[in-house]
Amino acid sequence: MKTKMIKTMGTAFLFAGMIALNSCNKEKTDTDFTTANNQALADETYNDVNNVSDEASQTGSVSYKDDDANSLLSGCAIVTRDTVSAIRTTTIDFGTGCTGIDGKTRKGKIMISYNGPYRQEGTTITVTFEDFFVNDNQVLGTKTIHNDGLNGAGNPSFTINVQGQIILANSAGVIVWTSTRTREWIAGVSTPSRDDDQYSITGSANGTDASGNEFTATIVDPLLRNLAPGCRRHFVKGSVLLQRSGKPDKTIDFGNGDCDNQAVVTVNGTSHIITLH
């Protein structure tokens, strides 16, 4: 599969409920990461959908369901593909529970429709959901992926829009999330392996967190997704500005390209090392 964005697009931050904060200094600063956590959860969730749906619509299978060292999903997802209709459809059915190597349990269905081949300029892929849950959080909404053709640098470029909601488990609230991203395929286009693929992501997102606080998240330096084994789980480069009324701005820096699970959040000049899970 050539389009592996979780690992893409997106503005990934700190996964909700799974962040280890180690302050780089002892000064008091804003430590309210609720909005960042909710934005991170939404970003990661819809990127995860992107990783699976892109490959399923392109190849009719989901290699990420194989149980190998670099897999995301286990082998329990069933892919059904309609190759006859003018608007082709692919359904990925996780049944009543499918736990992947990443420890996430998915259930329900992802439905994908597309009007042409993934690599063809002008193709639009639309992703919707039917009773789809990730770790008991219900995922709603629509995601569209449009092939814009080659950009000025000669690289394939895609516009990705999401209008979504995530109903958190245990009545913990609802995250409303809207994003518009441009994903540029900057390496690995001409090879069959996904291991040398790299993507550069720009754009922004906005919405409300589970407490009703409005926020915006803007990619300041393009985010880099490297799909080499050992790198593909997190962004390895780039930064995001997170803004919320009444709170100081936060900048999240994913580093210089090293394949690790570390990022740095800076608030009012104070930096915190975070571990991405």
Residue 247 lies in a domain: no
Range of the domain at 78: 33-213
Q: How many domains does the chain have?
A: 1
Q: How far apart are CA 138 and CA 107, in angstroms?
A: 9
Would the pLDDT of 220 be above 50? yes
Residue 37 lies in a domain: yes
Which range (144-158, 181-195, 203-217) has the least confidence? 181-195
Q: What's the pLDDT at 218?
A: 96
Residue 56 lies in a domain: yes
Would the pLDDT of 86 be above 60? yes
Residue 109 lies in a domain: yes
Residue 265 lies in a domain: no
Residue 197 lies in a domain: yes
Nearest in space to 94 (alpha carbons), one of 122, 125, 135, 58: 135
Phi-psi region at 230: left, alpha or beta (left = phi > 0; alpha = psi -120 to 50): left
Q: What's the pLDDT at 136?
A: 94
Residue 243 lies in a domain: no
Which range (92-96, 204-208, 268-272) has the least confidence? 268-272
Would the pLDDT of 5 be above 50? no
Residue 271 lies in a domain: no
Confidence of residue 140 (pLDDT cuts 50, 70, 90): very high
The whole-number average pLDDT for the span 17-25 is 41
